[in-house]
Amino acid sequence: MNIAVIGTGYVGLVTGVCLSEIGNDVTCIDIDEEKVETLRSGKSPIYEEGLEELLQTNIQRERLHFTSNYEEGLAAKEVIFLAVGTPQGADGSADLTFLNTVCSDIVKYLHNDVVLVTKSTVPIGTNEHIKANIERIAVTNLSVRVVSNPEFLRQGSAVYDTFNGDRIVLGSEDDEAMEIMEEIYRPYNIPIVKTDLRSAEMIKYASNTFLATKISFINEIANLCEHVGANVDDVANGIGMDSRIGGRFLKAGIGYGGSCFPKDTNAIITLGNRVDYPMFILESVQYVNEKQTDLLVDKIIKRFSGSIENKTIAILGLAFKANTDDMRGAPSIQVAHRIIDAGAKINAYDPVAVENAKSVLPKEVNYERTIEGALNQANCAVILTDWKEIKEYPISLFRQHLSYPMVFDGRNCFSLEKFNGSDIEYHSVGRPAINRQN
Ligand SMILES: NC(=O)c1ccc[n+]([C@@H]2O[C@H](COP(=O)([O-])OP(=O)(O)OC[C@H]3O[C@@H](n4cnc5c(N)ncnc54)[C@H](O)[C@@H]3O)[C@@H](O)[C@H]2O)c1
Ligand SMILES: O=c1ccn([C@@H]2O[C@H](COP(=O)(O)OP(=O)(O)O[C@H]3O[C@H](CO)[C@@H](O)[C@H](O)[C@H]3O)[C@@H](O)[C@H]2O)c(=O)[nH]1
């Protein structure tokens, strides 16, 4: 099939590359010319496991193309995927500026019938607006069939998730469009959920906000565990084994971040307020999440008797989660600002996110190329991302490189047993502190 994908970010690029891998001819369009040049040369502008390999293979097979020219990119396409950003607007709702621009731009270049597929996460009702607007401005004898096809990939495992998703959601009122979409996705062999446009849009928000709810729930339980001497890892394991609850997304820590959970939770809360149906659970989910990052910093400051002025803090991990270079919504941003504002120095390490971190962290942060470089003579280490190399770091090296052996683990990377019997002071989330000195 001849496909265009508009927007080559985490979603658009992975979608385009994977659709070409299963045999389609795909042209990815982006207004960012530098990005397009990078992609044409076979380099991925984002860090995603397995992506660059597939990118290069399919460019060589001549079925994956990149352009910033709409006319060239849209020529003779049967299906157009929309995958531009829908960031959080000033009032908390999803900002549809990019999407609206694309929709009015593409109309000028449509010369044949087409299926228009929205992958971007959009508020309920958006696809109906798209459909109405396009019908209003498009050439009358053209058929533009609109499909909502929300994306569920996770950053860091985006290629894997595309080929191994739990389900594909297709929303449309148009049977022919549904058939075309089912044909495109058949090679993935993933169950398809078919619904109307509005329900498809709602499935995306309900999924993300439910997962965010699980995380805030376990974080709230974790905080209570600390007060009453229980261990949240055991609690999560114990409740997760109940198949009605399920064990995933019950990892306590410094709260959820990223480009999706915070903004999508905000968008649905804003939508609820707009239709006069306040989302009480989600407001609490958001409140718990915002507090969670602060709790870790409060714990550090308290341990230093109320002041971290002139202390040096080693931060291990900056990205919002492991296996990505994305800093959008990363808890490290809030943590770094608070630490710098409190008068301490930061030596930071992340295996891939440093370049992106430089534009969002305070300018005072010093970046190191190795874990040892960050630990070197620091007063304590703070773990903010559970990168494999951090989780597997030999704990004796904390002792060797820090000026005082103390670790604050915001991701519960280590088992408590590892620190029992050592002389390293270890604080984590929702679990008893080990070797606490005061
Ligand atoms: N990042 C994720 O893991 C993820 C997962 C599921 C859904 N989503 C949703 O998918 C959408 C895209 O997210 P993302 O993270 O890939 O965004 P992104 O910001 O990484 O990428 C968006 C891309 O669109 C391009 N763009 C903007 N305006 C354009 C235009 N007029 N024409 C062509 N290209 C244009 C930008 O240059 C950029 O490359 C959002 O709605 C998001 O909520 C994201
Ligand atoms: O038990 C958990 C699981 C996750 N997180 C945190 O939650 C955030 C989001 O993690 P994850 O969901 O793995 O990453 P995303 O790439 O943001 O993916 C989410 O957001 C995407 C964008 O909408 C969706 O497509 C995915 O299905 C959804 O999982 C990160 O900060 C994680 O550290 C936890 O704190 N505890």
- Pairing mode, if any, of strands 345-349 and 25-29? unpaired
Task: Supply the residue whose CA is at minimum distance from atom 33 of ligand 1.
Answer: 30
Which residues line the pocket of ligand 2, CB cutoff 6 A?
Answer: 121, 151-155, 208, 211, 215, 249-251, 253, 256-258, 260-261, 320-321
Q: What is the mean pLDDT of residues 322-326?
A: 95
Above 0.85 for ipTM, yes or no? yes
Residue 437: pLDDT band with limits 50, 70, 90: confident
Active site residue 260: yes
pLDDT at 153: 98
Residue 139: pLDDT band with limits 50, 70, 90: low
200: Cβ contacts below 8 Å, ≥ 6 apart: 127, 148, 149, 150, 169, 170, 171, 172
Contact, 133 vs 110, CB < 8 A?
Answer: no
Across 170-190, b (16+ Cβ under 10 Å) vs e yields bbbebeebbebbeebbeebee
Which residues line the pocket of ligand 1, CB cutoff 6 A?
Answer: 6-12, 29-32, 35, 83-86, 98, 101-102, 119-121, 151, 153, 155, 259-260
Residue 131's φ and ψ, nearest 5 degrees, are: -60, -50
Q: Which two tokens stand for residue 316?
A: 């291990």
Q: Which atom of ligand 2 is nearest to the CA of 161?
A: 27
- 154 CA to middle of ligand 2, Å? 7
179: Cβ contacts below 8 Å, ≥ 6 apart: none
Contact, 349 vs 315, CB < 8 A?
Answer: yes
Using alpha carbons, select from 413, 388, 152, 400 the residue that is nearest to residue 261: 152
* Tokens 């380099």 sit on residue: 43
Q: Which ligand is nearest to the CA of 222?
A: 2
Provide the 10 A C-beta neighbour count for residue 401.
Answer: 19
Q: What is the mean pLDDT of residues 130-153?
A: 87
- 18 CA to middle of ligand 2, Å? 21
* H or E segment and range at residue 115: strand 114-118
Q: What is the mean pLDDT of residues 35-48?
A: 97
Q: What is the mean pLDDT of residues 157-163?
A: 98
pLDDT tens-digit profile of 48-105?
999 999 999 999 999 999 999 999 999 999 999 999 999 999 999 999 999 999 999 9
Residue 237: pLDDT band with limits 50, 70, 90: very high
pLDDT at 140: 67
Task: Supply the residue whose CA is at minimum distance from atom 19 of ligand 1.
Answer: 85
pLDDT tens-digit profile of 336-345?
999 999 999 9
- Give the helix ranges, DSSP H, for 108-157: 126-137
**Active-site residue identified among 18, 103, 225, 260:** 260
Is residue 18 over pLDDT 90?
A: yes
- The residue whose CB lies within 8 Å of the most ligand 2 atoms, and thus the one to mutate among 159, 211, 214, 323, is 211
Task: Supply the residue whose CA is at minimum distance from atom 5 of ligand 2.
Answer: 256
- 35 CA to middle of ligand 1, Å? 13
Q: Which ligand is nearest to the CA of 46?
A: 1
Higher local confidence (pLDDT), 112 or 187: 187
Task: Supply the residue whose CA is at minimum distance from atom 22 of ligand 2.
Answer: 260
120 by Cβ neighbours in 10 Å (0-12 / 13-18 / 19+) ranks as buried
Task: Supply the residue whose CA is at minimum distance from atom 31 of ligand 1.
Answer: 102
Is residue 138 over pLDDT 90?
A: no
Contact, 354 vs 374, CB < 8 A?
Answer: no
Q: Which ligand is nearest to the CA of 232?
A: 2
Contact, 225 vs 147, CB < 8 A?
Answer: no
- 127 CA to middle of ligand 1, Å? 17
- 46 CA to middle of ligand 1, Å? 12
Give me the chain's average pLDDT, please. Answer: 96
Q: What is the percent of the chain with per-residue pLDDT over 70, rounded to a whole number?
A: 99
- The residue whose CB lies within 8 Å of the most ligand 1 atoms, and thus the one to mutate among 105, 208, 259, is 259
Distance CA 236, CA 292 (A): 17
Residue 111: pLDDT band with limits 50, 70, 90: confident
Q: Which atom of ligand 1 is nearest to the CA of 32?
A: 37
- 128 CA to middle of ligand 1, Å? 20
Is residue 405 over pLDDT 90?
A: yes
Contact, 126 vs 99, CB < 8 A?
Answer: yes
Using alpha carbons, select from 71, 60, 67 the residue that is nearest to residue 12: 67
- 87 CA to middle of ligand 1, Å? 9
Q: Which ligand is nearest to the CA of 293?
A: 2
Q: Which atom of ligand 2 is nearest to the CA of 212?
A: 7
Q: Which ligand is nearest to the CA of 205?
A: 2
pTM: 0.96
Residue 235's φ and ψ, nearest 5 degrees, are: -65, -45
Higher local confidence (pLDDT), 152 or 436: 152
* Tokens 């919504």 sit on residue: 329
- The residue whose CB lies within 8 Å of the most ligand 1 atoms, and thus the one to mutate among 28, 32, 69, 84, is 84
pLDDT at 188: 98
Provide the 10 A C-beta neighbour count for residue 9.
Answer: 19
Q: What is the mean pLDDT of residues 140-161?
A: 93
Contact, 356 vs 365, CB < 8 A?
Answer: no
Contact, 410 vs 251, CB < 8 A?
Answer: no
Using alpha carbons, select from 380, 399, 416 the residue that is nearest to residue 304: 380
